[in-house]
Amino acid sequence: MERRALRSASRRLVEAMARRNVSPFTLTYSAFGMALLAAALLSLSTSWELFVPIGGLVYVAAGLLDALDGEVARKSGRVTAQGAYEDSVLDKFSEVAISIGLLLGPAGELEVLMFITGSLLVSYTRARAESLGVELAGVGFAERAERTLGLFAGTLVHAIWKEGLNLALALVGVFSYATAFHRYVVTRKALAEREAASGRG
């Protein structure tokens, strides 16, 4: 019920944006700007600890905007290769920026390292597989939405338990590594089957 309601609300929002001719690039750049703001807030959390949950909330808002740009592009018939490229690249810049903000602010070095390397591995394994013709959408648990929510949960817990954020980052890292390995296995199997079929032909 709740999931259907969320999908319905998202669909209405996308339709409204498409009717008002909102540019997908506006959403992409706005999401990136908000991610940079979230990183700045987290980096300043040593001076005011409430910047941690505020930064987490801003990062979630950035993620929501980022989820809408592709939908608006499809709805308004403005899907372009440039848009897809900029969206993907700015997503990675955003994750690097938020990791720097965490490192300069409330989080531990090892936990941030696990978070960012896991995130980049998840993205790379999908991008490389899809460049070889293997579709990996939905394969694995730790996609960007789940990683963002995990980080957000950690920023909320941080207000009452300082190590909660580090635990959340470490868990996101572990699930990301598992997702990357799962994608590696799926891709390897798909490529082996394709080559075997080609050899039989």
Is residue 91 flagged as an active site residue?
A: yes
Do 121 and 177 contact (CB within 8 A), yes or no?
A: yes
CA-CA distance, 152 to 175, in Å (whole number)? 16
Q: What are phi and psi of 186, to 5 degrees?
A: -60, -45
Cβ atoms of 93 and 38 closer than 8 Å:
no
DSSP state of 159: T
In order, the DSSP letters of 108-145 are -HHHHHHHHHHHHHHHHHHHHHHHTT---TT-SS--HH
d(CA 60, CA 37): 12
Task: Give catalytic residues, as residue numbers.
Answer: 91
